[in-house]
Amino acid sequence: MKYYSTNKKAPAVALREAVIKGLAPDGGLYMPEKIKHLVDDFFENMEKMSFYEIALTVANAFFGEDVNSESLEKIVEDTLSFQIPAVKVEDHIYALELFHGPTLAFKDVGARFMARLLEYFVRQEGDVNVLVATSGDTGSAVANGFLGVKGIHVYVLYPKGKVSKIQESQFTTLGENITALEVNGTFDDCQALVKAAFMDKELNERMKLTSANSINVARFLPQAFYYFLGYAQLKRKKLIQLTKQGGKINSNLVVCVPSGNFGNITAGLFSKRMGLPIKRFIAANNANDIFYKYLQKGKYEPKPSKQTLANAMDVGDPSNFARIMDLYDHSHAAVTQDISGASYSDAQIRETIRSCYKANNYILDPHGSCGYRALKESLKPGETGLFLETANPAKFKEKVDKIIGGDITIPTRLAKFMSGKKLSIPMEKDFQTFKSFLLKR
């Protein structure tokens, strides 16, 4: 399959080049030229299939033309080495817990898949340098997904003082082929450095660069897997009601996605295009409400990001907005048919975590709090709601403990990271400084 740039000013490329380059030469994001619609029988019988069988079916639709079947099967099997349960929070509202992987965050799925797919493509390429900007969980998922992979060096750029100590420990203590850069700025500054690196001719002539942010198709497309897995579990619980109209399968399922850089919800929109019968999506924002305001006004106005309790969503200019625009032919009316929005302050996030714990004995992380609240406020009679719980609340222990008046147990995996030595390198947000650093490595 060929992949084209959202800016439409660069030639279409094969998957291998799209994965290795990450960003198109014209600064656009790669998109597959076609999205395969899966057969109705798959959706009608998905509850009888294993997680692995479901994910492999989806992976084949995306990557089957470009990766041999044996390798793709192994990549999917290695990626999904943990469970992704749909857990009841209250009547008609379920949490899809995406935090049971190695770094206890949803990005483990995309990062693990990308690490293995990139390794598959670069065996004969020589060394590849992965650049990744993180506002929290991306860095840890990518760093741990690529740790020890031969021929690949990862540079994690993160904003100084703007990620939790637990998150920071997950990518600054690893060493080996992982270098953490503590940038004196915001997430947007980190992301700007990464994008500028891809657009710099000299840097790209001297180094082979790629990105592991959701701008890379190998990172964001596999995130479609868990929308199918969530649907299958709710169907197994007989919570999904299917109807057919005009030959199209419809359902009562509403999915709410805590949204920052919008790769996660974009993967969900792809799953809908593949035929997964999701009735509608809700994009839940924190105070960084650029997309929410776009839904209201039809005008996209990026702004500097604000630091919030839900830090992984602190994005003022979400990269994947370009993919959403491309998917919907830049039609605001078409976007709002499938997606509604919500935006919450830190005070509202705290209140939601507190009230959900009191009413349901379920502990939300700050990001999942936005998803749960948006569902609770907008779910209609007869609908079943699924929100993505994107990180284990223990990753925000100090803040969540204060909110619920409790003491969350830190999982053993997190405790091991926290006992390691911080190895990060201070970095100014100036591109020339960053470029010089890379060229000297």
d(CA 231, CA 235): 6
**Beta carbons within 8 Å of 150's beta carbon, 6+ residues apart:** 119
Which tokens go with 286?
A: 């924190």
Q: For residue 33, which of 66, 59, 5, 67 has the smallest C-alpha distance?
A: 5
**Beta carbons within 8 Å of 127's beta carbon, 6+ residues apart:** 151, 152, 153, 208
d(CA 275, CA 286): 29
For the chain, the helix, strand and coil percentages under 3-state DSSP, each to the nearest 5: 45, 20, 35
What is the dihedral sign for C-alpha 113, 117, 123, 126? Answer: negative
Per-residue CA distances from 347 to 49, 309, 356 (Å): 42, 9, 14
3-state secondary structure of 82: coil
For residue 135, the Cα-to-chain-centroid distance in whole angstroms is 12
3-state secondary structure of 112: helix
Q: Within a 10 A sphere around the Cβ of 197, how many other Cβ atoms?
A: 23
For residue 215, the 8-state DSSP code is T
For residue 27, the Cα-to-chain-centroid distance in whole angstroms is 20
Q: Within a 10 A sphere around the Cβ of 303, how many other Cβ atoms?
A: 12
Q: For residue 105, which of 305, 310, 291, 285 has the smallest C-alpha distance?
A: 310
d(CA 322, CA 314): 18
- Give the catalytic positions in this structure: 107
Which tokens go with 173?
A: 């203590």
